[in-house]
Chains A and B, each alone.
Chain A
Amino acid sequence: MGKSSKKNKVILAPPLPPELDDDEIVVSEDDFDFVKENPEHACNIARQDIKAFDKFVTRVADHDDEKVELLYEERERKRRAAAALKPRNDDELEVDPVDALPVKTLDGNVVYNRPAKKARSGDEANGVKSRSQDKGAGATQGSQKEPKGRSNKKEDSKLQNVQSPTEVPKENLHSVVLEEVKEELSSDELFEKKKAQLAELGMALLEDPESNIRSLNDLLILCNDMDQKIVQLGIMSLLAVFRDIIPSYRIRQLTEKELAVEVSKEVKKTRYYEYTLIRSYKAYLQKLIALEKQPYFYLVAVRCLCSLLDAAPHFNFRESLLASVVKNLSSSNDVARKLCCEAIRSLFRNEGKHRGEATIEAVRLIAAHVKLHDCQLHPDSIEVCLSLKFDEDLGKDDSKEDKLKPKKNKRYQNRDVTKPSEKKKIKKEMLSKARQEVRADLRAVSFTLDPKEKKMIQRETLAALFETYFRILKHSMNTSRYKTTSVFPGGSHPLLAPCLEGLGKFSHLIDLDFMSELIACLKKLSGYTDHQGEILPDNALSVSERLQCCIVAFKVWRSNLEALNVDLQDFFVQLYNLILQYRPDRDHGEVLADALKTLLWEGKQQDMLRAAAFIKRLATFALSFGSAEAISALITLKHLLQKNTKCRNMLENDAGGGSLSSLVAKYDPEAKDPYLSGALATVLWELSLLQKHYDPSVSGMASNVLSMANLNATQNPVQLSSANPLEAYKDLSMGRELSKPAGKVLTLKCKRKRRSKEFVALSPDVLRKADCTVGEDELREKLQSHFAVLRGISENERLRTELNHTLSSINMYKEYKKQKKQSKKSRIGRKKVTRA
């Protein structure tokens, strides 16, 4: 595998130093000295250069000028002299095929050896060869300006491939170096020293990036340290530096033409600065991407990537940044996932930073990611798309403009025809040309897109987005094989919920062509089957998800001006059944309220039978669930009654069974089909009970609805509130209620101040038990034993003190004897003294 790809790389590398003529020479000389002085460091620098080679390949691509080439060739020779040290070092270590690469690289031929290098470098033919190959490579690779090309990505991955193996020997080298250093410095000191070095370099860079730009290299070297802490600190400080010094424009690759032109020193300096910056930036990114694979550095690397994406979405190498961030969108690590989501969201939100180009890239990447993983991702990875912003008039204006444009053109054409003046025409053309140029320049500078381009980008974004959404829908339809395998929240279809949400949100942007297919899809997902009365027991979707399908279908239908000729009747049936399947703790009440709002509350006049069926079912529903659900049901019910005045008969109890007896005479509360429920024949008795509801707002609403019975068809009762079911639900839901300030508990005033002696809480049974007393004998025994215990204790205590006393008295005897002896002695002594 290696050979061909290696060859490729090899070819790319040689024409290294295109733009920075004089400076480059200086650098290489510097390097030379440096290398001489401390060969260990030189190795690293040299390695850095290898990376640089790769980068340069792209830049050189368009060079044609022989002269320039020659100049380069010479310069290269000098450079190579400096670089010659490096391969030697490599060989000393170990002959690694990848390490050996750069040597061969220069030739473009695998056959060439290091010694042959010098000879060949002068060789014109070789140079030409490599040049031509360069061109080819450049073409496939695509310039850095237009990074969307696929080859570029390939290139990146190749670069990574090269990079990662080279790291191994590098570390070996380091260890050798470290070993020497260790003799002098303890590891702690080393750490401190490196830390200080990092800080110094970082500060210098921040203070004056222009002149200290080369410190970036040093920082990068530090990032290859053995010490993980140092590496971490290194990439963090590089992050800070890059965030600060990355310019607000994208660094463009210089054309050969531009390179050919003599430029002032200032410009050269700037070019060198930019070149170094971009080279180190790339190296840094590669480092991050490599580190991201190591568990230890994972979080730090992701954090850096996200932060970079947030700070510089306009800058070069955005695509690799995006790729790794999108990949981590469904990371199992919560923190990393949050970071990535936030980064992508901010990308979507602040399109001004990158002219919307990053947006479409991100959405495409997400789409590819979803495809790759067969929809088994964390919901967050789709949820970020909800932050996308599209112009509301995107769809419509487009068509309008299209219509307008031809007209204009025609008019122009007509005008052109009528105005034969050639001069004027040319003048005009020139003028418009100039104008266009100016406009293009302006645009390039100011990051603003003209509406057309913007529209184009948005359209493509939408296409990618809906592709993802449809993929998820399709996937959810034919599943059940992933039932148990999913590790993400949200059951077997982790992506379905955010997908439906997104479809609902962007429903107005869906292409009409997709519509019927989408609706059919949703219908199937909502659990509708052609066989009435048969509910699939193993329907994989939850009630909430199915409700959401209904909502989305209606939203889609409605947002397309209801022009669509789609029969949505089935969704009503579905909702009718889902109401019964709702469980307060399992399903989301908000979704149900939303469904009521979308399907029933916002709808126009309903079919009478259907309306009656819903009215009855909603009333029954309100009796069994909490106040938030009840109020949303009642509001919907009231709305239906208002719209369908004939249904108001249900509020009254007609002795004759109602004037509007339908086909079905007897009401079936569990009916599957609203048309067959026979609801019109019933009376809304529920409302009389709901009037006693403990929640005043529910009972108020129930009375309000009941009052409709006394009004004639055109009148409506006093409006209690204008909230729709969803708002009402949210307002009464427990979470909201608890966040409301606590109502003051009123001080109680009672009729009767004091109660007489009757018992209120204790049952007479219990009280009777209290009166039975212990038998005489038992009492006697217990009292006696109590006494005995007390006596025993006091006796024991008495004896104990006595015993202690006696014992200590006996002990005193010894002391007494001692004293006696002493006194005797002293007496004797005294006697002796007196005798003496």
Chain B
Amino acid sequence: MAKKLGKKARKFANKHLQGGAKRSRKLRSQFNRRTRKDGKGREDGGRLDGDGDEEMRRSDPTVNTHDDVATLANSLEFPEDENEFDGDLSDSDGYLSEDPECPYYSDSEDGNVLKDSIVQDGLDGQNNDMNLAVKKQKKKLKKLLDKDPEFANFLGKWESELVSHESDEDSDEQDEMDSGDDGVDAGDKNPPSDKILTSKTISEWCQLVSKDPKAPALRNLLNAFRDACRFGLHSSSLSTQRLQSTEVFYQIITFILSEADNIFRSLLDIPDDDKGKLMNLRNGQKWQDVEPLIKSYLRNCLDLLSQLTDNQILTNVLTRLRASAVYFSAYPSTSRRLLKILIHFWASGDQSLSLTSFLMIREVVSLLPDCLDLCLTKGYNTYLSSSKLVDNRNIKNIDLFMNCLVELYSLDVQKSGERAATSVGQLSAILRQVSKSKEKEDLLKIDNWQYINCINLWVRFICVNYKDCHNVHSLLSSVAQIIRGVAYLLPGMRYLPLRLKLAQMLNELLNCNQMFFPVPSLIFGCLEFREIFQKEQTEKTNIHFSSLLKVPRNLLKSRDFQEQCILSAIEVLSAHFAQWSYHVAFPEVATIPLILLKRLHEQTTIDSLHRPLKRLIDQVSENRDFVQRKREVVSFSPNDLSSVESFLEDEKMSGNASFTQYYESVSKNRQSRGRKFV
């Protein structure tokens, strides 16, 4: 269905809507969804106006920076199993036989229809013009017909020819597309109603249903919902003509979405999400009765999801639908379809939509563990393709996506652990290959966002699961090795942002496993004093390390770069110090970095750096003296491990030491700074 709509809409837009920016924004995600499949994203992208670009790029994996990366992506991605079977619900179109007794109010509100057709809309003007043109031409035709009555016969013949020809052409497509739609139960005595739905009718039905869920009006409502969901799919079909007013559309959709769950629950007598109970019910009479209704509801919801384009509505619909997730578990293959749609939203939507769809996915997957594999693969691949390009705007989305993915992977550590091992193996294989040749082209295989984000994903995964799953250790050491390897293969000032990122990852890793790693050695390069070649800069170049892997050459010697450099270095250093601030060897940990910091503090010519540097130096010295004082009075030796462990245990627990507080303020600063940038 989605296909059908997308194709049509696109064709249509290509033909007639060149200038309609507003329109195209509305239709955008339809296009995008489409382009994901046929890979013509750029074409449409060019036509979109500026603020569409970002989303566009994110959702369109075909925009490659270069082929190398693309091939890399393929090598990193998990193979996807594409064959899908969607048999559960599609055997019927979900039309429910109605009780003819239901109240129906014919159009007493024609005025309404007229009124709300004036909803401002770019197309309306065009439509009006066309309407006029049609009228004009018809008049002309009529004149001709009047003039020559024989022509009418001729025309009739031609028309019938045309129709038969068209039907020949379209028959294949039609068959395929409409097989579901036409499969109206043969035994159904009542053909689909083609009465126009009025607002009054709907409100009446709604009232009836809310009073008594078993009321026959429910069927009517669900049918109306079906029509609403498929509105616009087939302009010629009857269902479209049943809906004339926007008000009615709104009424149906909101009512069903908000009430359906409750209604079904009361029909089935299940108070909460209890899967077992639902499964038990499946053989009972009650289920038999209600099942078609649920089926219709779910199916139409899917249609609705694939039709809607607005992030907010989608978020809303998904939030409502989440309550009914349990019903999906009864239809595994439909769930798969749902998951695919959801994963798409997850990857391409804005923050709230992404999060909502993720929550829905999680819900469904936890009910249907069989689908987990699908989600893990798809989610991972989507993550990879969406993290190809990182800029200031999408960095938060990628972060969120990654966190969600980790969440998903943490559902079943056994299963996902294998995947993680495979992926880490691939990463390290690429690294080894690169280290062998060290060609410039090969270096691009690790010098890209995909690679780095992939590492980051597993770092996060390991951190989250380290406590529960101690065997993650082997994974951890290979990830640590990859991080070191990347830092080793990409040396130099230009890669400083990347290096800082790696250092952050290491800090994260080490914090969870309490191992020692000399993180500062990675960033000593930052702490060297460098001359600034600065032509009096009038405008401040904004350098955001978070969205950079390497610094553009022209900024290397700029003041801003240096400043950023050192500020980021301070963050990494303080994280490292914070980790060991209660250890008995802290004074020694701090010795060499402190020397460097002091020298930098003396030499630097950037005034804005003096204060943060001084503060760090003071804090570290203070903590050093503190530890030194404390350890002077202890009597154990360095080889007494347990005593070393318990050194300053109490202080650590309380977390009152000044350095801990300092670190907290630094990390808070960073977060706020990060927020400011995005």
User: Which residues from chain A sit less than 8 Å from chain B, CB to CB?
Assistant: 580, 583-586, 619-621, 623-626, 629-630, 651-653, 655, 669-670, 683-694, 706-707, 709-710, 734-735, 737-739, 742-743, 745-755, 757, 759-762, 766-767, 769-774, 778-780, 782-800, 802-803, 806-807, 809-810, 812-813, 816, 819-820
Whether the pair A760, B407 counts as a contact (CB closer than 8 A) is yes
A750, A751, A793: the one contacting B232 at CB < 8 Å is A793
B117, B127, B355: the one contacting A799 at CB < 8 Å is B127
Q: How far is the CB of A531 from chain B (nearest CB, A)?
A: 19
Whether the pair B154, A751 counts as a contact (CB closer than 8 A) is no
Whether the pair B637, A812 counts as a contact (CB closer than 8 A) is no
A754-B412, A770-B352 known; A737-B481 Cβ under 8 A: yes
Q: Is B528 an interface residue, CB under 8 A from the partner?
A: yes
User: Which residues from chain B sit less than 8 Å from chain A, CB to CB?
Assistant: 8-9, 12, 16, 23, 26-27, 116-117, 119, 121-124, 126-127, 130-131, 133-134, 137-138, 140-141, 144, 148, 150-151, 154-155, 158-159, 231-232, 235-236, 240, 243, 246-247, 249-250, 253-254, 307-310, 312-313, 315-316, 319, 351-352, 355-356, 359, 366, 400, 403-404, 406-407, 410-414, 417-418, 421, 424-425, 428-429, 431-432, 435-436, 460, 464-465, 468-472, 474-475, 477-478, 480-481, 484-485, 488, 491-492, 510, 514-518, 520-521, 524-525, 528, 580, 583-585, 587-589, 591-593, 595, 631, 634-639, 641, 644
**Nearest 5 pairs between A and B by C-beta?**
A790-B232, A748-B417, A792-B123, A734-B488, A794-B235
A624-B518, A774-B316, A779-B254 known; A585-B525 Cβ under 8 A: yes
Whether the pair A784, B355 counts as a contact (CB closer than 8 A) is no
Give chain A residues whose Cβ lies under 8 Å from the Cβ of B352: 769-770, 772
| B509: nearest chain-A partner, CB-CB | A694
Give chain A residues whose Cβ lies under 8 Å from the Cβ of B359: 767, 770
Q: How far is the CB of B359 from chain A (nearest CB, A)?
A: 6
Give chain B residues whose Cβ lies under 8 Å from the Cβ of A743: 474, 478
A630, A688, A746: the one contacting B644 at CB < 8 Å is A688
Whether the pair B584, A784 counts as a contact (CB closer than 8 A) is no
Whether the pair B481, A816 counts as a contact (CB closer than 8 A) is no
Whether the pair B313, A779 counts as a contact (CB closer than 8 A) is yes
Q: Measured between alpha carbons, how far is A813 from B141 in the docked complex, in Å?
A: 9
Whether the pair B635, A655 counts as a contact (CB closer than 8 A) is yes
Q: Measured between alpha carbons, how far is A619 from B356 in the docked complex, in Å?
A: 52
Whether the pair A580, B475 counts as a contact (CB closer than 8 A) is no
Q: How far is the CB of A505 from chain B (nearest CB, A)?
A: 27
Q: Measured between alpha carbons, how far is A754 from B362 in the docked complex, in Å?
A: 13
Whether the pair A761, B475 counts as a contact (CB closer than 8 A) is no
Q: Measured between alpha carbons, how far is A683 from B16 in the docked complex, in Å?
A: 82
| B584: nearest chain-A partner, CB-CB | A685
Whether the pair A750, B421 counts as a contact (CB closer than 8 A) is no
Give chain B residues whose Cβ lies under 8 Å from the Cβ of A813: 144, 148, 151
Give chain B residues whose Cβ lies under 8 Å from the Cβ of A769: 351-352, 355
Q: Measured between alpha carbons, how far is A655 from B313 in the docked complex, in Å?
A: 72
Q: Measured between alpha carbons, how far is A693 from B124 in the docked complex, in Å?
A: 71
Q: How far is the CB of B535 from chain A (nearest CB, A)?
A: 20
Whether the pair B232, A689 counts as a contact (CB closer than 8 A) is no
Whether the pair B246, A788 counts as a contact (CB closer than 8 A) is yes
Give chain A residues whose Cβ lies under 8 Å from the Cβ of B636: 653
Give chain A residues whose Cβ lies under 8 Å from the Cβ of B148: 813, 816
Q: Measured between alpha carbons, how far is A575 from B638 in the docked complex, in Å?
A: 27
Extra A-B contacts (19), CB below 8 Å, given A669-B591, A793-B123, A796-B16: A585-B525, A625-B521, A626-B518, A653-B637, A669-B587, A683-B638, A685-B584, A748-B413, A750-B413, A752-B468, A753-B412, A761-B410, A762-B403, A773-B315, A780-B250, A787-B250, A797-B235, A812-B151, A820-B150
7 contacts between A and B (CB under 8 A): A626-B484, A653-B637, A685-B638, A709-B639, A739-B432, A766-B355, A813-B144
Give chain A residues whose Cβ lies under 8 Å from the Cβ of B524: 583-585
Whether the pair B510, A694 counts as a contact (CB closer than 8 A) is yes
B-side interface mostly: helix
Whether the pair A802, B410 counts as a contact (CB closer than 8 A) is no
B418, B464, B639: the one contacting A760 at CB < 8 Å is B464
Q: How far is the CB of B471 from chain A (nearest CB, A)?
A: 4
Whether the pair B313, A583 counts as a contact (CB closer than 8 A) is no
A585, A619, A784: the one contacting B491 at CB < 8 Å is A585
Whether the pair A580, B638 counts as a contact (CB closer than 8 A) is no
Give chain B residues whose Cβ lies under 8 Å from the Cβ of A734: 484-485, 488
Whether the pair B231, A787 counts as a contact (CB closer than 8 A) is yes
Give chain A residues whose Cβ lies under 8 Å from the Cβ of B510: 694
B117, B414, B528: the one contacting A753 at CB < 8 Å is B414
Q: Measured between alpha carbons, how far is A778 from B316 in the docked complex, in Å?
A: 11
Whether the pair A688, B155 counts as a contact (CB closer than 8 A) is no
Among A621, A691, A754, A798: residue with most chain B CB under 10 A = A754
Whether the pair A693, B515 counts as a contact (CB closer than 8 A) is yes
B124, B154, B403, B631: the one contacting A761 at CB < 8 Å is B403
Q: How far is the CB of A72 from chain B (nearest CB, A)?
A: 65
| B138: nearest chain-A partner, CB-CB | A806
Give chain B residues whose Cβ lies under 8 Å from the Cβ of A773: 315-316, 319
A580, A757, A770: the one contacting B355 at CB < 8 Å is A770
Give chain B residues whose Cβ lies under 8 Å from the Cβ of A798: 235-236
Q: How far is the CB of B632 from chain A (nearest CB, A)?
A: 9
Q: Measured between alpha carbons, how far is A749 from B415 in the docked complex, in Å?
A: 10
Give chain B residues whose Cβ lies under 8 Å from the Cβ of A585: 491-492, 524-525
Among A621, A692, A784, A820: residue with most chain B CB under 10 A = A692
A786-B309, A803-B133 known; A796-B403 Cβ under 8 A: no
Whether the pair B515, A692 counts as a contact (CB closer than 8 A) is yes
Whether the pair A689, B315 counts as a contact (CB closer than 8 A) is no
Give chain B residues whose Cβ lies under 8 Å from the Cβ of A786: 26, 308-310, 313
Whether the pair A806, B471 counts as a contact (CB closer than 8 A) is no
| A622: nearest chain-B partner, CB-CB | B518
Q: How far is the CB of A750 from chain B (nearest CB, A)?
A: 4
| B438: nearest chain-A partner, CB-CB | A735
